Structure formats: C-alpha cells, structure tokens
Amino acid sequence: MNSSYTLKSWLPQIVEIAVEAGQAIMEIYAQPDLGTTYKEDNSPLTRADMVSHHIIVDKLRSLDPRLPVLSEESKSRPYQERETWSAFWLVDPIDGTKEFVKRNGEFTVNIALIAEGKPELGVVHAPALGITYWAAEGVGAFKQVAGVEAAPIHIHDHHAEETLKIVASRSHAGIETEAFLDQLSKNGRHFEVLSIGSSLKLCLVAEGAAHLYPRFGPTMEWDTAAAQCVVEQAGGQVVSMQGTRLRYNKAELLNPYFMVCGSSTLPWLDHIQQATRQQ
C-alpha cells in the first residue's frame, strides 16, 4: 500500500499519538478510581480505555481521513463493510486492561497499519514503563526507553546449548501451556519461563530477551497486530499452531492460537503436536 518512505515518515507521528494517549492514560492511572466497568464478556473497561480510544481515533483520522480506523472500543463494523478495506488502522487503546486495573504497569497502547491483511507498521507503547517499540516494513524494528536514544532490535536465535526462554501470560496461562512446557521437559529441553502482561510478551521475543511465546488462549486482532509488526521486522515470526502467518481483517476477528518465535529452525511445532496427543 505505502512506500517505505511513507511508512518511515508516518512512524514518528504514530509514536507521538501513542505517547499522547499514554499520557492521558497515566493521568487516570494516578487516580484512586479508575472508573472500571465490565463488558458483556466480563472483561474490564476503564475510563482510560475510552479516553485513549478517542485521542487515537481523532488523531489518526486527522492524519489521513481516507483510512478507516478499527479500535477495540469502536462500534462493531460488519465484515461486509470491512472486506472492502485494502488498508486501515487497527487499534487497542489499552492492551492489558487487567494489568492496568491491577496497577502493575504491564499494559500498552497498540497502533497498527494493516494493508492487505498484514501489519505494515506497528507501535507498542508502555506508558507506565516508559518503553516504546515501533517498526515498519522496510524500516526495521526499534525500542526506546524514556530518556535514551532509540536503538534497533533483533530476535535472538536459540542455540542448543542455551536455556530456552519462554514467555507466558500472567493472566491467561492454561492447561495447554502447561502441557507444552511439560512436553519440552520430557524431550529434554532446558527452559525458563518469563512472565509479563499485554503485547509486551511479543516484544520480549522481538528484542531477543526471549526465544518463544506460545499463546494457547483467546486474543483479538487488535491485541497482536502492532507487536506482530515489531516481531517480524526484528526477524521473527508470529504464526498459527499450524505454521501459517497470522492474518488480519478476517470475517472473525478472533485470532487462532499462535506462536511467536525468534527462530524459524526451532522445532516447536513437533512439541505442540506431541503435547496435544498427550491430552
């Protein structure tokens, strides 16, 4: 859709939008009452989610009014309308609202540009941690810690003699994850588990701090798109348990179970199939 030049020129503006939303989130985060309510699926919704949503949507529409915006907090858009979109913004105003409510700081603002079903640009901003990841196709992937100059990031290939570092969800670890880890142990792989919230899990793989993130649990497209761009531009992959790349703007916005992998040679699929047979 866009030349690398256009993507590169948009990146700082999208980072700025994410940071502005993050500042508004932190103002509410500092208050005793987060204004928490619950959606029909019993997931939490706070005043900060909606404030962030409006800031991001308004800014993106000003940036390019031609591009539709799909946010977690938007009214649902029927697939008959969405399937005509060749490109659009996909937004999660707060990814990890449960982490926000717990006040552990592990939540993010996610903004992605989707073109023909794939994320071409992504920004993941963790306002409480002062960390921002961003990437664009043909540009690369970067991490910036507040007050420090941004630096390029890259996945770290796992070597047989190394301890395998696996990311697990704080809020959503389940029996499938336990079965997968148990199978790794049975197959003689040495590993340690890292826990963190929101799309920061994908970013740990992107920056080489972890090798693998298996996700056996429900996620929506806005949960993963921005961080998938970061992972892919850092040299990694985000694929279904059948090995196919995660795609976006599907008729059903629910993601399949997936694996974030820092090495295309790691035989994780064999372990998953073995663990599935054991259940």
Higher pLDDT, 63 or 271: 63
Q: Cβ of 164: how many Cβ atoms within 10 Å?
A: 18
pLDDT, tens digit (0-9, with 9 covering 90-100), for 62-120: 999 999 999 999 878 899 999 999 999 999 999 998 898 899 999 999 999 999 999 99
- The answer to whether position 172 is within a domain reads yes
What is the CATH classification number for the domain harbouring 189? 3.40.190.80
pLDDT, tens digit (0-9, with 9 covering 90-100), for 125-183: 999 999 999 999 999 999 999 889 999 999 998 777 788 899 986 555 578 888 888 88
Query: Who's near 220: CB < 8 A, 6+ residues apart?
Result: 72, 253, 254, 255
Query: How many domains, the chain?
Result: 2
Domain that holds residue 247: 164-278
Whether residue 112 is found in the same domain as residue 219: no
- Final residue before a domain boundary, out of 96, 119, 152: 152
Q: Cβ of 151: how many Cβ atoms within 10 Å?
A: 10
- Final residue before a domain boundary, out of 95, 117, 152: 152
- Final residue before a domain boundary, out of 127, 152, 177: 152
Mean pLDDT of the chain: 89
Whether residue 193 is found in the same domain as residue 274: yes
Whether residue 176 is found in the same domain as residue 48: no
Higher pLDDT, 274 or 54: 54
pLDDT at 14: 98
The answer on pLDDT for 18 being more than 70 is: yes
pTM over 0.95: no
Q: How far is it, in rounded angstroms, from Cα 270 to Cα 98?
A: 33
- The answer to whether position 267 is within a domain reads yes
Whether residue 148 is found in the same domain as residue 170: no
- The answer to whether position 158 is within a domain reads no
Mean pLDDT of the region 215-227: 95
pLDDT at 155: 94
- The three-class DSSP label of residue 95 is strand
The answer on pLDDT for 265 being more than 80 is: no
What is the CATH classification number for the domain harbouring 32? 3.30.540.10
Q: Cβ of 45: how many Cβ atoms within 10 Å?
A: 18
